[in-house]
Amino acid sequence: MKKIFFVCVIILISVNFCIAKEPTKESESVYNEDIFKALTSKDLTKADLAWHAYNTYGWECEEVVSVGPPQAGGFYYITCISGEKFRVYPRKGQYPQIKNAQGNYK
């Protein structure tokens, strides 16, 4: 019985290490290591979106907790840990525009 329990514990620990958790905080973005990677709108993690919101645009968004589906206007919403929402407009060959929920910079 102890052997079965031990094997189950080892399997559970292994599964947890194999599941990669997406980074969500601005401080976890790869852009902190290599700023040149920040010049794209492709394959953005929640941490990358938080990095742009906080560093590029000055929004109070140090962590992105959710990313919404694409909207008809060519943008999608992100929600920050504070509860504030922003619109993300991906742009080909450059970093995304991030505006407030109303679609402006105020």
> Average pLDDT in the 64-83 region?
97
Q: Which residue shows structure tokens 């509860």?
A: 83
> Average pLDDT in the 74-90 region?
98
Kindly indicate the confidence band of residue 3, based on its pLDDT and cuts at 50, 70 and 90. Answer: low
* pTM of the entire predicted model: 0.81
Coil, helix or strand at residue 31: helix
Dihedral sign (CA 50, 64, 22, 98): negative
Question: Comparing 3-7, 27-31, 82-86, which segment has the lowest mean pLDDT?
Answer: 3-7
Largest CA distance in the chain: 63
Tens-digit pLDDT profile for residues 22-47: 999 999 999 999 999 999 999 999 99
| pLDDT score, position 43 | 95
Q: Is the pLDDT of residue 63 over 70?
A: yes
